[in-house]
Amino acid sequence: MAKIEYTGQLPIHNKIPENRIKQGDFVYCSGSNGVYDFWGLYNASNKAVVALDGGSTEYVRGEELYLYGTYSYWTIIKRIPCNKANLVISEIE
Which pLDDT does position 42 carry in this prediction?
A: 92
* pTM for this model (two decimals): 0.74
Q: Confidence band (pLDDT; 50, 70, 90) for 11?
A: low
Distance between start and end Cα atoms, the chain: 13
Q: Which residue, among 86, 83, 47, 38, has the nearest Cα to 65 in the 3D structure?
A: 47
Phi/psi region, residue 73 (left: phi>0; alpha: psi -120 to 50; beta: rest), is alpha
Which pLDDT does position 23 carry in this prediction?
A: 94
Which pLDDT does position 78 carry in this prediction?
A: 93
Report how far residue 77's alpha carbon sits from residue 26's, in angstroms, rounded to the nearest whole number: 11
Quick check: 24 pLDDT over 90?
Answer: yes
